Structure 1
Amino acid sequence: MTISDLKNDFLQKLSGLYSEEELQSFFVLLSEAFLKLTRLEIALEGTKTVSEEANLKFSEAIHRLKNHEPVQYILGETEFYGMVFKVNKNTLIPRPETEELVAWILATVETQKLKPKSILDIGTGSGCIAIALAKHLPESTISALDISSEALQTAQQNAFDNQVEVDFFQRDILQATNEAHKYDFIVSNPPYVRELEKGEMQPNVLQYEPKTALYVPNEDPLLFYRHIARFAKKSLRPKGFLFLEINEYLSEEMMSLLKLEGFVEVELKKDIFEKYRMIKATLNA
């Protein structure tokens, strides 16, 4: 079977399950991993014969994609902020909105000429936020916590692979009181999808990504944010920053919560899709 035959077979078997754009993207990602070819080489070497091993890998990938498994889990990795991260069933797949949150933090550091000594990432998952910050703020001490020991193992491997130092530790933020250590920045992308919003989720998210990292009860959707805000009040240095990724439907409620908890300079920010997905606040001195 040639590369062209393989591609046609791939597109035909998955047609109707995904958009044409998604399928083209999946084929390129899988070809880079299984055939060790770039996008350009795939186009130029269509008549090249595919090995039996690679053919079997594509067959397995097609089967898993038919079951709506995320391509990132099939590959075991994804890209975030220009770096490669291992991902698996214990970690959420990093998303573009979270890259925007990292960019906002780094822009704040640059524009305000800040030199944060210590930063904490709450609910680190794959470690993508903490590791991206460690890469771009090498003089800062970066710490990260998560309730899942399995997620922390993945995060530690990602830090090693990306050649940065992050202090990872296991903690349930819903049970945490405060840290003896004080932080200049606290950042989090906690669970914020209400059960009632499951109907808006894609099958690959519903079936495969860790539910504990996604969902909150309908009756208390700000559960994690309330605990994080109260933890941050005790653990941030005066005039320290709190950055959060948020539910687009609860932006006003988030503004009210942070102001009620005593934070000032509360600011919402839209993502590339013009939705309020981020919020920043400062601890009153």
Structure 2
Amino acid sequence: MPNYSELVQKLSSQLEIYDRQEATSLVNWLLEHHLGLRRVDMMHFLEEKDLPKKLWDDFDRLKKGEPIQYILGKAPFYGHEFLVNSFTLIPRNETEELVHLILKENKSPGLKVLDIGTGTGCIPISLALEMNQAEVYGLDISEEALEVARKNAKLLHAEVTFLKCNILEELPPIEDLDVLVSNPPYIPEKGKAEMHQNVLDFEPGLALFVPDHDPLLFYRVIAEKGKKLLKPGGRLYFEIHEEFGAGVLSLLEEKGFTELRLLKDLNGKDRMVVGKWEAGS
């Protein structure tokens, strides 16, 4: 009878599309989810013949490259679990850093906050839970994504208003914002060739890709509309493609934003741009 570590090794060796460390992490995650046991408990109680059929079904999906977050229907983000499905991007660590930055820099009570392209709602919900009496909004073009976001807000007891809006064509009906944040689509279509197949096959392209000829499309539109949405002294926060830092900074400068900053994530990649709006700029 294999012990727990031997079982993990056996299963992870079958996840050939992942490196060994990630494969081991995914197998551990799957086992913990299905067995309701902590890893330390499973060291003593696990026999392969006792594993439920649903676990094996999910393992087959994992072998085909489907992200484990979609298989389990949830993903961790900023200390909470969020529902996810194929209409939403999987929340990522870099976006947690963006949320942390906003919280660190905006401590006043009663701030008005808008997230554009909200997906699961992980950004506005996390901000609503952590900020002091903030008035928080989230927008998305996808009704299916908004349905997930509203469920997440309800499950996590967060006060967030979600609205359907095509930011490329509409001006959101929200004014005098203190904080405008967006993690918009920013991967050029040509970038598909370099991406992991499990992202291309399973995550929503609507939330990922922009035309090759206009990769800053969403930043330009959101910055322009941000001038109408933000109150004087309001801040704009963007998550960006690591190759577009200089371009986004230049764009915001042209639009009249001040106190511009380009910030790196924990992996040392250019990941966040911050600007301040002053009326009459």
Could you say whether these structures have the same fold, taking a TM-score greater than 0.5 normalized by the shorter chain as the test? yes
The aligned residue for residue 202 of structure 1 is 196
Superposition deviation, residue 42 in structure 1: 2.3
What pairs up with 1:217-228 in 2 under 5 angstroms?
Answer: 217-228=211-222
Q: Give per-residue Cα distances to partners, 1:227-271, cap 9 Å, x unaligned.
A: 100111001000100000001101101000001011000101000
2:130 to 126, 133, 136: 136
The aligned residue for residue 179 of structure 1 is 173
Percent identity, please.
43
Superposition deviation, residue 197 in structure 1: 1.4
The aligned residue for residue 231 of structure 2 is 237
The runs of at least 4 consecutive aligned structure 1 residues that moved more than 6 Å come to: none
What pairs up with 1:1-285 in 2 under 5 angstroms?
Answer: 4=4, 6-14=7-15, 16-47=16-47, 50-51=50-51, 54=52, 56-110=53-107, 114-177=108-171, 179-285=173-279
Q: Is the 8 A contact 1:65 1:71 kept in 2?
A: yes
Q: Is the 8 A contact 2:7 2:48 kept in 1?
A: no
Cα 1:73/1:178, change in 2 over 3 Å: closer
Q: Is the 8 A contact 1:3 1:49 kept in 2?
A: no
Q: Is the 8 A contact 2:116 2:139 kept in 1?
A: yes
Superposition deviation, residue 29 in structure 1: 1.2
| Separation in structure 1 between the aligned mates of residue 131 and residue 209 of structure 2, nearest angstrom | 31
Residue range with higher mean Cα deviation, 263-272 or 22-31: 22-31
SS at match of 1:85: strand
Q: Is the 8 A contact 1:240 1:283 kept in 2?
A: yes
Superposition deviation, residue 8 in structure 1: 4.8
Superposition deviation, residue 115 in structure 1: 3.4
SS at match of 1:13: coil
Q: Is the 8 A contact 1:176 1:231 kept in 2?
A: no
User: Which runs of 5 or more structure 2 residues have no equivalent in the other structure?
Assistant: none
| Separation in structure 2 between the aligned mates of residue 238 and residue 94 of structure 1, nearest angstrom | 31
Q: Which amino acid aligns with 1:41?
A: D
Q: Which amino acid aligns with 1:76?
A: G
| Separation in structure 2 between the aligned mates of residue 90 and residue 178 of structure 1, nearest angstrom | 22
Work out the number of aligned pairs and report it: 278
Q: Give per-residue Cα distances to partners, 1:169-226, cap 9 Å, x unaligned.
A: 1000001235353211000000000112122211111111000000000100011111
| Separation in structure 1 between the aligned mates of residue 172 and residue 196 of structure 2, nearest angstrom | 36
| Separation in structure 2 between the aligned mates of residue 8 and residue 248 of structure 1, nearest angstrom | 35
| Separation in structure 2 between the aligned mates of residue 236 and residue 282 of structure 1, nearest angstrom | 9
User: Which runs of 5 or more structure 1 residues have no equivalent in the other structure?
Assistant: none
Cα 1:8/1:254, change in 2 over 3 Å: closer
Superposition deviation, residue 66 in structure 1: 2.0
| Separation in structure 2 between the aligned mates of residue 23 and residue 43 of structure 1, nearest angstrom | 19
Q: Is the 8 A contact 2:113 2:135 kept in 1?
A: yes
| Separation in structure 2 between the aligned mates of residue 276 and residue 102 of structure 1, nearest angstrom | 16
| Separation in structure 1 between the aligned mates of residue 61 and residue 224 of structure 2, nearest angstrom | 42
How well do the aligned residues superpose, as a CA RMSD in angstroms?
Answer: 1.7
Superposition deviation, residue 3 in structure 1: 6.7
Q: Give per-residue Cα distances to partners, 1:88-135, cap 9 Å, x unaligned.
A: 10000011100000011011124xxx3352100000000000010011
Q: Which amino acid aligns with 2:78?
A: Y
| Separation in structure 1 between the aligned mates of residue 165 and residue 230 of structure 2, nearest angstrom | 17
Cα 1:230/1:176, change in 2 over 3 Å: same
Q: Is the 8 A contact 1:122 1:145 kept in 2?
A: yes
Superposition deviation, residue 7 in structure 1: 3.3
| Separation in structure 2 between the aligned mates of residue 80 and residue 180 of structure 1, nearest angstrom | 26
Q: Is the 8 A contact 1:145 1:171 kept in 2?
A: yes
